[in-house]
Amino acid sequence: MFARVAIPAGTHILDYKGRLITHAQADRLYGDSAASGHTFLFMLNARYIIDANVGGNAARWLNHGCAPNCAASIHEHPGGVALRDRIVIEALRDIAPGEELTYNYGIVLEMRHTARMKRLWACRCGAPGCTGTLLQRKR
């Protein structure tokens, strides 16, 4: 997805939308998706995952980038209602028209990050510091 207009740093670009499913539902529906190297799932909180395969918006088309110009952050519902938490995508810096919008997906798999998995989740963002994979260091 590319910017059509100049986007100042800090701009709320859009929310990552989709149906809410529980972690157990995600495992049942997409249990083997770690081997696909592709996902429209985004972990919202301990209870829910946003599944952009259903009811997703344009946010699902943003690519991962190793030197991203956007960030996705969880905005917790002030009343603590897990269902109402949001994933907000914001501009990290001023973005010029024509630039691709990217953010770090922050993907950490439960399984080992083997060379094969890194290849499956290969990154081709082209940034000078590209790690070559979407998979992030385990903490």
Site residues, Zn ion (CB under 5 A): 66, 123, 125, 130
Which CB sits closer to Zn ion, 45 or 136? 136
Which CB sits closer to Zn ion, 58 or 130? 130
How many CB atoms within 10 Å of residue 130? 14
Which CB sits closer to Zn ion, 70 or 125? 125
Query: Least CB distance from residue 87 to Zn ion, whole Å?
Result: 21
Query: Least CB distance from residue 134 to Zn ion, whole Å?
Result: 8
Query: Least CB distance from residue 127 to Zn ion, whole Å?
Result: 5
d(CA 78, CA 84): 9
Which CB sits closer to Zn ion, 41 or 123? 123
d(CA 101, CA 136): 19
Q: Phi, psi at residue 29, to the nearest 5°?
A: -75, -40
Query: Least CB distance from residue 68 to Zn ion, whole Å?
Result: 9
Transcribe 92-134 into DSSP letters.
SS-B-TTPBPEE---B--SS---HHHHHHTB-----TT--SBS
